[in-house]
Structure 1
Amino acid sequence: MRTLLLVIAALFALLSGGWFLVAWQIESRAEAALADLRARGFSVDYADLSTTGFPSRFDTTATNLRLATPDGRVIWEAPFLRVTALSIRPNRVTTLWPQDQTLTLAGQRIDLSAKDLRASATVGLSTDLPLDEATIGSGLATVQAENGLGFGMDRLAARAARSGSAYDLFAEVEGLRPATVSANIGLLRLDARVTLDAPLELRSPTAPRFRGVALREVRLAQGDVALTGSGTLEPDAQGYLAGTVNLTAENWPGLLDLLQAAGLLAEQQRPFVEGALAQMAQGSDRIEVPVTFADGKVEALGLVLLEAPRVL
């Protein structure tokens, strides 16, 4: 029994020493990263940086944070930021934000409030640290700028999971409420696969090149009104997105009601738009419209809507 107790005590001392060594390394690397930002001209202020959670966790918390770009045009402030990982799974890191934060852009203050805002990332167990999975989620949240612009939402959930050199993306927002319009968006969903020429690697000095995106579903819905899209887009020889996205409007008369209520469709314009859509629908409440990305332009129904994004 005495020998067993000595062995247990030795193991505990070894594990304890390992935990404190790792905790010291975490704090040292965090302080070095903040010092590197200062050396590059950023303003970095915080009250305290410490790691707790012995023996099962590493919870590193910085308090009273203030970060500003060298030109002072972007400033982020928060009462704390916590990064946590389990001792038995150090390759998965979770970041926890406070409920209230502030962001200042070119002198314009933006207040951010989010319930249980957190993000996590899991990297592969190799020297290049490939990003295997990332998630972000939040409960009730609001973003409000001094000029009155902003939005609120009931819930946010997003996930990216690696499959070779591609990432499957899924994001869903419920109860999106733009501050400047009266209509709400009940559901916003994205389901897609983004293909790269290599996985995202945290230690790689260069970012992988974008190869294409397959939109399984993009959906905006409010009650029985919905706008959905699917299609495949790839960069062309000039680096612009090219391909076709097929849009479907479900209950298009209800969609016009929402656009008019939101102030996005003038009352005097509605008869013209409604007549054109009724002719396309031919008695149906569904309308399908292909949207083409080609030659650096986005076109639908023979009209150029905007310039296509350049991704390369």
Structure 2
Amino acid sequence: MNLAELESLIEPVDLRSCLIARNGRLLFEHYRNSRIPEEIAKVNSCTKSVLSALICMAMDHKRIPEADTPVSDFFPKLPKDADPRKREMKLEHLLTMTAGFEWTEFGRLKSFPRMTRSANWIDYVLEQPLSDAPGTRMEYNSGVSQLLSAILVQATGLPTARYAEEMLFGPLGIEKYKWETDPQGIHTGGYGLWLRPEDMLKFGQLYLQSGSWNRQQLISKERVLRSIQPAVPANPPNRGHYGWHWWTDSFGEESPEGRNGISPTTSFHYFYARGYGGQFIYIVPVLEVVVVLTDDKRKRDRHPANVFRDFIAPMLLRACGK
């Protein structure tokens, strides 16, 4: 990989940070200034993928039942709703954003901002009407992530952040973080986590290693694979598919000779955590690569380039393709 070329390409973008590792070895490290490596910052909706890991861990340890469990097992008011379809809602539907709620994250209805202004976020989400039967269609919804955080608290008896410290942050050596809470003290499931770029890279490396860290299986391989599988097509204008609070996509040209129609010499599949404002953790299994990007500029000041697909992915194919 031509690191000098990459440095020049991303210079106009003015990223807060850019880290690239292969086989666990850091290949490229860029920070806007020398303070950033030790500063925690908002990862926004990358929080969802961290929450997914915690849910998977709780399932592995039998604290949370399997994904086909009704959501009403955790929220008794749900079966009393006038819409009987809410009784069909499963944990799987929350994880894949297919719960069916009438919701526009930042659009006309502004459901996400309205939730954060309500006195009880969980009640606000559960009371929203359904626009679709559960499992029918993906609709990006930070409210269902809050439901998952509340379920984790119920199931483990611990605050979400405390469970993360014991099961995930501690083993990964993540010591500096901040995690916001709702009015009831439930840690925000859809956003609100603050991390260092290096610790975001550790989290990505854990998933590259199929849930293994220092010879310890923190998340079962089967659960990791399940969570990153393309479950539903992403709703436009998003690309690719959505898994269990992870995005999935591919880069390059398809080839009939390649595995599953994808040739590793001309393309690759990847999955990623994505947070508003330019926070990303990309994992490319076939190339054994993890990429972390962070930014902190307002929308009007951000560069229009998709740094991963426009600059980094082509270099990965040239330098790492086999």
Q: Tell me the TM-score range normalised by the shorter chain.
A: under 0.3
Instruction: Say which structure, 1 or 2, has more relative contact order (CA 8 Å, 6+ apart).
Output: 2
As a proportion of its length, which structure holds more helix?
2
> TM (normalized to structure 1)?
0.26
As a proportion of its length, which structure holds more strand?
1
